[in-house]
């Protein structure tokens, strides 16, 4: 890596403002690595962050943008690591400390000093020391780079499922058929659970059916939604497991109103700061409803996600609808916002476009 080499890096400047900048390609310090990015996927979180102009935890604009990726180790710092030039890797977008209370009890996603890494919409990314130690994972042989980049969102989904009681036979409701909701569909169906999927966008419901959802319900984003979802469940009384994947308070409310007696509601999508929802205390108490918040992923869930992506590559490929160069990150986000695509893979090395 010559000191004079430059690269393109996409920056988030504020709400719906990004800019591509030319910067020197960094040299890795001791214990760091430099990764050449093969593919960086656009995520629902990126869309939220782009619309809101920032994220209370993950980034502070202006800053390099993008957080899902896979690539190849291009250079290794002087002290060396277990990684070698040419290794195919994915780097998770956070690194826990490994020492605090939550880390010591296997809850690294709640680390008291969780650090985030952004800047995957670029040709190269410098991976800091802590991330090299805790957040770099080998990509299974033969797995496509864009599909491998889904290790981050799928890691979140697997973490959520790990914390969801799925031992009761039967059924789960998934509220929201965006990329995350559809990942839940794939993983629940694989466990033999019948999925009722709800979303306002018919095209997304069709994909959900193709991926194995037993029933789909078109939602109107109003108070009837829970009633319609409950009616689609066996016995028409709601479901023992309801997973919310919308990131809006209305979706949280619908999910909470869809659980059956003794059921568990898993709230997955982060809503805007300061959001509030109503709780029916009577129902919560007398029906023994469990309400759980789920956040982020752990190193073990990223590793498990890579295994699952290799096993079910064809299903996961359906969640990536087109490939675009770095200059078209914003266009890809707009197309996600218009529900024309679920996700795009940004290929820094390409200047071609595929798909619709």
Longest dimension (CA), the chain: 68
**Which lies closer to Zn ion via its Cβ, residue 95 or residue 259?**
95
Helix or strand run (H / E) with residue 200: none
Alpha-carbon distance 195 to 205, whole Å? 12
- Sequence-distant (≥ 6) Cβ neighbours of residue 73 within 8 angstroms: 33, 34, 35, 36, 83, 84, 85, 86, 87, 89
Residue 270 in contact with Zn ion, rule: CB under 5 A: no
Residue 157 binds to Zn ion (criterion: CB under 5 A): no
Q: By CB under 5 A, tell whether 103 contacts Zn ion.
A: yes
Q: Which of 1, 20, 72, 97 binds Zn ion (CB under 5 A)?
A: 97
Residue whose CB is less far from Zn ion, 107 or 228: 107
Which residue stretch of 4-12, 38-46, 231-239, 323-331 sits at the interface with Zn ion (rule: CB under 5 A)? 38-46
The DSSP bridge partners found for residue 107 are: none
Q: Is 122 in the site for Zn ion (CB under 5 A)?
A: no
Which residue is associated with the tokens 């699952």? 308
Helix axes 202-210, 179-190, angle to 10 degrees: 20
Helix/strand/coil for 258: coil
Interface stretch with Zn ion, choices 44-52, 73-81, 236-244, 329-337 (CB under 5 A): 44-52
CA–CA–CA angle 114, 119, 120 (5° rounding): 105
Q: Which is nearer to Zn ion, 22 or 105 (CB)?
A: 105
Q: Which of 10, 34, 39, 43 binds Zn ion (CB under 5 A)?
A: 43
118 part of the interface to Zn ion, by CB under 5 A? no
Binding segment for Zn ion among 111-119, 186-194, 204-212, 233-241 (CB under 5 A)? Answer: 111-119
Counting contacts by CB under 5 A, is residue 110 touching Zn ion?
no
Please tell me what DSSP assigns to residue 59: B
Report if residue 1 touches Zn ion, rule: CB under 5 A: no
Under the rule (CB under 5 A), what is the footprint of Zn ion? 43, 45, 68, 96-97, 100, 103, 111, 152-153
């Amino acid at each position: 890596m010559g000191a004079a080499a430059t690269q393109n890096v996409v920056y988030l400047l504020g709400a719906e403002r990004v800019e591509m900048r030319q910067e020197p390609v960094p040299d890795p310090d001791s214990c760091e690595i430099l990764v050449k990015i093969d593919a960086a996927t656009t995520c629902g979180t990126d869309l939220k962050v782009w619309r809101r102009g920032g994220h209370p935890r993950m980034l502070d604009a202006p800053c390099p943008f993008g957080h899902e990726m896979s690539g190849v180790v291009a250079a290794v710092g002087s002290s060396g690591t277990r990684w070698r030039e040419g290794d195919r890797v994915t780097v998770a977008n956070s690194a826990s400390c490994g020492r605090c209370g939550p880390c010591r009890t296997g809850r690294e996603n709640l680390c008291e000093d969780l650090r985030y890494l952004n800047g995957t919409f670029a040709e190269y990314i410098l991976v800091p020391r802590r991330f090299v130690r805790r957040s770099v994972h080998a990509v299974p042989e033969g797995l496509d780079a864009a599909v491998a980049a889904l290790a981050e969102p799928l890691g979140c989904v697997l973490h959520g499922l790990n914390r969801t009681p799925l031992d009761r036979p039967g059924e789960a409701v998934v509220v929201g058929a965006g990329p995350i909701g559809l990942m839940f569909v794939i993983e629940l169906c694989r466990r033999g659970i019948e999925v009722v999927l709800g979303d306002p966008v018919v095209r997304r419901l069709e994909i959900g059916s193709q991926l194995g959802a037993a029933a789909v319900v078109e939602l109107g984003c109003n108070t009837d939604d829970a009633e319609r979802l409950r009616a689609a469940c066996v016995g028409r009384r709601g479901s023992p497991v309801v997973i919310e994947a919308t990131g809006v308070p209305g979706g949280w409310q619908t999910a909470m109103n869809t659980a059956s007696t003794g059921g568990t509601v898993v709230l997955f999508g982060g809503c805007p700061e300061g959001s509030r929802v109503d709780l029916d205390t009577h129902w919560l108490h007398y029906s023994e409803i469990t309400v759980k918040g789920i956040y982020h992923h752990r190193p073990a869930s990223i590793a498990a996600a890579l295994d699952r992506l290799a096993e079910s590559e064809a299903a996961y490929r359906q969640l990536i609808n087109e490939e675009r160069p770095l200059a078209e990150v914003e266009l890809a986000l707009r197309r996600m916002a218009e529900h024309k695509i679920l996700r795009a893979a940004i290929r820094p090395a390409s200047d071609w476009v595929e798909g619709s």
